[in-house]
Chain A
Amino acid sequence: MSLNSRTALLIPGLLLGYASEAWANLTLNMPVGVTDISHKIYQLHMTVLWICVVIGIIVFSIMFYAIIFHRKSVGHQAAQFHESTKVEIIWTIIPFIILIVMAVPATKTLLAMDDITDSDLTIKVTGYMWRWHYEYIGTNVSFMSELSTPYEQIINRDAKDEHYLREVNNPLVLPINKKIRFLMTGNDVIHSWWVPELAVKKDAIPGFINETWTRINTPGIYRGQCAELCGARHGFMPIVVQAVSEQEFQTWLAAQQQQANK
């Protein structure tokens, strides 16, 4: 969020504690994320949310006004009006206009998400029951990425560590500031690859490939999960993306290539 909108939202943000970015990174709200698209999606989400909150407050205030002041017990007599074409037209047109206002940023964001040209790197992601497979297209590098939370933690014999159920043996290492294209497919049933902080979610469908992309702005570790019911261990096939600088990525990739060539 830019400085201006952050300041503007400070008062309602303080009041409701929901809009400011500090709260955004608690587990109360969608993450703002680390890509331009994730920022756009967050903005769209907050815009629509606020519009809905305002409409809700207006409509419910009118209703509560009636509940308090138009009750029989305070002696209010019922009026007789029961229709008005004018009013029906007004409250059809105004919501329609509000929808058009919402549709503009939504369309723009969708158009931005649809542009998969000029990518720097392609990763083929394959969903298996119940783990992910990554292949760096154009290299020999490919590996399985499986849940690495120890069984003892899942059955409560050991205390759970911080990243319980969201850690893997081989994370997907990606360079920042590069446009990364994903080809998603499924090995057996439909899975879905979701990393909230990248705002990437795409179904992995057996027999088909789906295309999507991301460009990560900030290095870090980003965790996600499978988002389509795929059998018993659907909740146990997480995703970990490790975003690093371009040099670190090249070094890592070269080492992986060497290992693969052995």
Chain B
Amino acid sequence: MTTEHTYPHGIKRWLFSTNHKDIGTMYLWLSFIMFLVGGASAMLIRAELFKPGSNLVTPEFFNQLTTMHGLIMVFGAVMPAFVGFANWMIPLMIGAPDMAMPRMNNWSFWILPVAFSMLISTMFMQGGGPNFGWTFYAPLSTTYGPLSTDFFVFSVHLMGISSIMGAINIIATILNMRASSMSLMQMPMFCWTWLITAFLLLAVMPVLAGAVTMVLADRHLGTSFFEAGGGGDPVLFQHVFWFFGHPEVYIIILPAFGIISEIIPTFSRKKLFGYHSMVYATASIALLSFVVWAHHMFTTGMPLAGELFFMYMTMLIAVPTGVKVFNWVSTMFKGALTFETPMLFAIAFIILFTMGGFTGLMLAMAPADFQYHDSYFVVAHFHYVMVAGSLMAIFGGTYYWLPKWSGHMYSETLGKFHFWLTLISFNVTFFPMHFVGLAGMPRRIPDYALQFTEFNQLASIGAFTFGLSQIFFLFIVIKTIRGGKPAPARVWEDAKGLTWEIPSPAPHHTFTIPPQWN
């Protein structure tokens, strides 16, 4: 039962929203816009790399493009998308009327357009935008960074505040506002993965804030944390950054795991296999993520003991990750499978993310990493886990829940078309990168030796197709929102959980009276 009341319309509804559905929607749209901006930079990168010596952009601008692409995709596209899903779905899944702190939720969102406007505006500042890679190693960023570096620092601080506030909200909501009698071990897996992700965010976003503040201090306050001349050490920067950076990539993938764990059981018509095991595996991955950071630093001159330790710890993460993959496959096995678009994305996730996991295992082998590090092999690896992983989960989740959000079914034909186009163009783009990386092509270069030409051309063609496919996705989403076959409350035949007890589209306020669950 929902209570009717007059709520603001127009701008006020969105600017002052304390409604988890509206805020979720805003996060998702922000993420899509950022995805297109980050995608545009990717298109320019791949256009430059289409052939050796293309000189489409200057090497200086190329470095800005690669930096922006990384920052915007990680902080602007993937993370806000998952926060959007969290906002929309967590209260629905646990039977809560809204998030624990709705006003803070509003601030968490509205900081982001400010942060990203600032970040993007740096490209137009004197000296250009940040050009030191999303990893902003010192002393390239401290001593040689352009004027806009300080705005980059400020915008990272803003993004961090947004994430931290969001994480607090999610933890408080999940721990305090579940429908009575829903124990933690009974809530949907998506909630578990987000709960763990929120703890990771709380732990490491402050460390990023510290790193970025120290960069600012080195630039302007006469400190030299990362400069040897003043008694500092550039490698210290890498330790601090990657202490944040490695858990960050698990922040990027854990919610994706949660989405896949929702989709697979529904379309297999079978409960998720090994629920408890999945929880422990996710928690293990999160804990282990804190002790592997220096596998990004094998070539910095680490002593043997350090290399061995980080190699062994990194290899260990394969165990709980493997457990999750086996559990998903076991959910499908002997189910009654149908292959609507969300399921197609989920299956593609399992295969392609696992491939990315395998290259991750190869990268963990420290001696071999001396050949892989800073080559296109690494670029291939992280695009497999972040694009075929996180992004495909986002697509799958969108198709899965769009009918609930909008009240309309998307066109299954168009959805499948988007899927196949995305799947094929993704692989055409990124699979060849394994080869050129192994053959010796370094990262972050605007021009390359002739033997890398063919695979780079293939990658560029794949990338342009992939980019166009996502414009197509935008079209599908808008079309669905505007109209389509009305969706029932239980959109999918075997979907289980409180989400599917409420009408589609979900009313503005839901579960204002706590539901009787189970």
Contacts of A22 in B (CB 8 A): none
Interface assignment of B323: CB less than 8 Å from any CB of chain A: yes
Q: Mark A34-64, 1 if CB is under 8 A from B, else 0.
A: 0001001100110011001001100110110
Which segment, of A7-15, A23-31, A169-177, faces chain B? A23-31
For B233, B274, B299, the residue with the greatest tally of chain A CB atoms inside 10 Å of its CB is B299
Can you list 16 A-B pairs with a CB-CB distance of less than 8 A? A30-B371, A30-B439, A41-B370, A44-B367, A45-B362, A45-B365, A49-B362, A56-B354, A60-B351, A82-B273, A88-B277, A196-B371, A196-B439, A207-B233, A225-B442, A227-B442
Using A95-B322, A199-B370, A207-B229 as known contacts, say yes or no to A110 and B304 having CB atoms under 8 A apart. Answer: yes
A229 close to B63 (CB less than 8 A): yes
For the complex, what is the distance from the CA of A105 to the CA of B83, rounded to whole Å?
42
CB-CB nearest in chain A for B329: A63
* 11 additional contacts (CB under 8 A) given A45-B368, A184-B301, A190-B140: A66-B329, A67-B339, A71-B339, A73-B338, A163-B449, A194-B374, A199-B371, A229-B444, A231-B144, A232-B58, A235-B447
Using A45-B371, A224-B440 as known contacts, say yes or no to A27 and B334 having CB atoms under 8 A apart. Answer: no
Interface assignment of B269: CB less than 8 Å from any CB of chain A: yes
Interface assignment of A226: CB less than 8 Å from any CB of chain B: yes
CB-CB nearest in chain B for A225: B442
For the complex, what is the distance from the CA of A30 to the CA of B363, rounded to whole Å?
13
Contacts of B358 in A (CB 8 A): 52, 55-56
For B58, B137, B331, the residue with the greatest tally of chain A CB atoms inside 10 Å of its CB is B137
Interface assignment of A3: CB less than 8 Å from any CB of chain B: no
A88 close to B323 (CB less than 8 A): yes
For the complex, what is the distance from the CA of A165 to the CA of B228, rounded to whole Å?
31
For the complex, what is the distance from the CA of A113 to the CA of B298, rounded to whole Å?
12
Contacting B439 at CB < 8 Å: which of A27, A72, A106?
A: A27
B350 close to A190 (CB less than 8 A): no
A232 close to B63 (CB less than 8 A): yes
Contacting A70 at CB < 8 Å: which of B271, B322, B333, B371?
A: B333
Using A70-B332, A211-B301, A227-B442 as known contacts, say yes or no to A95 and B234 having CB atoms under 8 A apart. Answer: no
Interface assignment of A118: CB less than 8 Å from any CB of chain B: no
CB-CB nearest in chain B for A30: B438
Q: Mark B219-260, 1 if CB is under 8 A from A, else 0.
A: 000000001110001110000000000000000000000000
For the complex, what is the distance from the CA of A42 to the CA of B370, rounded to whole Å?
11
A59 close to B275 (CB less than 8 A): no
Contacts of A194 in B (CB 8 A): 374, 440, 442
Using A45-B368, A70-B332, A91-B322 as known contacts, say yes or no to A233 and B449 having CB atoms under 8 A apart. Answer: no
Sorted from nearest, which 9 A-B pairs have the closest CB atoms? A207-B228, A235-B445, A210-B301, A52-B358, A27-B439, A82-B271, A109-B367, A79-B334, A227-B374
Contacts of B330 in A (CB 8 A): 87
Using A110-B304, A190-B140, A229-B140 as known contacts, say yes or no to A235 and B448 having CB atoms under 8 A apart. Answer: yes
Interface assignment of B416: CB less than 8 Å from any CB of chain A: no
B residues whose Cβ falls under 8 Å from a Cβ of A? 52-53, 55, 58-60, 63, 131-133, 137, 139-140, 143-144, 227-229, 233-235, 268-277, 299-301, 304, 307-308, 311-312, 315-316, 318-319, 322-323, 325-326, 329-339, 347, 350-351, 354-355, 358, 361-362, 365-368, 370-371, 373-375, 435-436, 438-440, 442-452, 455
Contacting B370 at CB < 8 Å: which of A72, A95, A201?
A: A201
Interface assignment of A78: CB less than 8 Å from any CB of chain B: yes
Interface assignment of A4: CB less than 8 Å from any CB of chain B: no
Contacting B143 at CB < 8 Å: which of A81, A189, A227?
A: A189
B375 close to A227 (CB less than 8 A): yes
B367 close to A41 (CB less than 8 A): yes
A48 close to B362 (CB less than 8 A): yes
B350 close to A227 (CB less than 8 A): no
A63 close to B347 (CB less than 8 A): yes
For the complex, what is the distance from the CA of A208 to the CA of B443, rounded to whole Å?
24
Interface assignment of A16: CB less than 8 Å from any CB of chain B: no
A27 close to B59 (CB less than 8 A): no
Contacts of A45 in B (CB 8 A): 362, 365, 368, 371
Contacts of B228 in A (CB 8 A): 205-208
Contacts of A37 in B (CB 8 A): 367
From residue 72 to 101 of chain A, which have CB atoms closer than 8 A to chain B?
72-73, 76-84, 87-88, 91-92, 95-96, 99
For the complex, what is the distance from the CA of A73 to the CA of B336, rounded to whole Å?
8
Contacts of B368 in A (CB 8 A): 30, 41, 44-45, 48, 106
Contacting A28 at CB < 8 Å: which of B273, B435, B446?
A: B435
Which segment, of A136-144, A153-161, A242-250, faces chain B? A153-161
CB-CB nearest in chain B for A90: B326
Using A78-B336, A106-B367, A189-B144 as known contacts, say yes or no to A92 and B323 having CB atoms under 8 A apart. Answer: yes
